[in-house]
Structure 1
Amino acid sequence: ARRDGLAVEAREDAARRIAEIVLSRPEIAKADLVSAYWPIRSEVDVRPLIAALRDRGQAVALPQVTPDGLVFRLAAEGDALSPGGFGLSEPGPDAPVVDPRVLLVPLAAFDRRGHRIGYGKGYYDRALARLDAQGRALAIGIAFAAQETPVVPDGPHDRPLDGIVTEAGLIHPTGD
């Protein structure tokens, strides 16, 4: 992925800028609970953003891969994380399962329509469909600007993101 070629300092600077943008968004600030992710591979490191959300008094959930798909579990500061599927670090089985209304979503690539490429299993699309059944959840992609691509192939079950935050700013998807 193009993000792999970014220098460490550039990645850290970009992650700080992304965190500033996310934290400045009113729709994020008013959420009692925000689902984030623990970074793997060369994903944007949102761990400082998670700490900032908690410092503001917001609860944070992290995804857990199960045989039935993604579930989201509360992840309080200091909670031990366990190794999970795909190299993920996940909350333990005793952490409460929650249904977040605001999600920060990792991705490998995105386009201006709000479509994303994940890791090919459709976990987030299915989880968002389940959450959207209770009223549309706010799904914000988190990426480096270098991950933008002209067109991401999409299918009937692909759920576009409501926004994408990169170090260059917030992208409002066109949806077409």
Structure 2
Amino acid sequence: MTRWRRAERTRLQSERMLQTAETRRAASIVLADHLRALLNQHFGGAVGRVFSGYWPIKGEPNLRPTMVELHGSGATVALPVVEAKAAPMVFRRWTPTTQMVRGDWNIPVPPPESDQVMPEITLAPLVGWDCSGYRLGYGGGYFDRTLAVLDPRPFTIGIGWQSAQLATIHPQPHDIPLDVILTETGVQAIREIPW
């Protein structure tokens, strides 16, 4: 199973990098519209909530403009940060003026002096996904480890491309299903959750 997952990650990342930057930009704008609608429908928006986004890498949907918008509307916005290998991530407060530093894999993150917060809603970028709400990530297990220990667990929205859908990711015991999978075509998977 490890070999299959590694091969699928490589294939899916290669395929998404074949999309032009303009195609990804346009699809990210549409995906952001779906995210706004989801937040409004199920949470009445994000005002007053703690919302964790992500900094896009390797052709992931770019929702940074949405993070700026949510911050401007009164949400507390955070980004996940890896502080130690094989440990859960922490979430540091982010604003549009935060002076970012390089974190693991050279991903920009808020600096260590930024406040740590506990998200109520978090976005998890997807390499691949299935209709049962399972996420195929980059293989480090950070999101699964983090979701397993957060109490209360945040409402977690997987963000990815429609083309990354798999029949199954062959979930393993450590894999945690997400609450919603959202792509540029809308909601793809949603767990039975009391709203």
TM norm. shorter chain > 0.5: yes
Moved over 3 A (4+): none
How many correspondences in the alignment?
Answer: 173
| 1:174 CA displacement | 6.0
The equivalent of 1:147 in structure 2 is 164
Q: Give, in whole Å, the separation in 2 of the partners of 1:36 and 1:106.
A: 9
**1:7 and 2:20 are equivalent in the alignment:** yes
Match for 2:187 among 148, 164, 170?
170
Q: Distance in 1 between matches of 2:176 and 2:68?
A: 28
- Deviation of residue 109 (structure 1)? 0.6
Q: Give the drift of 1:20.
A: 0.7
CA contact (8 A) 1:34 1:58 kept: yes
Counterpart Cα distance in 2 of 1:142 and 1:100: 16
Amino acid of the structure 2 residue aligned with 1:104? L
Contact 1:106 1:143 in 2 (8 A): yes
The CA deviation at 1:56 is 1.4
More strand, by proportion = 1
Q: Which of 93, 112, 115 is matched with 2:112 structurally?
A: 93
CA apart distance, 1:87: 2.2
Measure, in 1, the Cα distance between the counterparts of 2:21 and 2:124: 21
- Runs (5+) with no aligned partner, structure 1: none
Deviations 1:113-170 (A, max 9, x none): 1111111111000111111xx2332100111111111111211111101111111011
TM (normalized to structure 1)?
0.92
Give the AA of the match of 2:121.
V
> In the alignment, does 2:88 pair up with 1:75?
no
Give unpaired runs (5+ residues) of structure 2: 1-12
Match of 2:30 among 5, 12, 17: 17
Q: Take 1:135 and 1:36, find their aligned partners in 2: how far apart are those partners?
A: 18
Give me the whole-angstrom Cα distance separating, in 2, the residues matched to 1:86 and 1:65. 10
CA distance in 1, matches of 2:146, 2:52: 12
Residue 36 (structure 1) aligns with: 53
1:59 paired residue number: 76
Aligned with residue 138 of structure 2, among 119, 123, 129: 119
Distance 1:24 1:56 in 2: 15
Task: Name the SS for the 2:30 alignment partner.
Answer: helix
Residues 163, 82 of structure 1: CA spacing in aligned structure 2 closer, same or farther, 3 A cutoff? same
Distance 1:161 1:80 in 2: 30
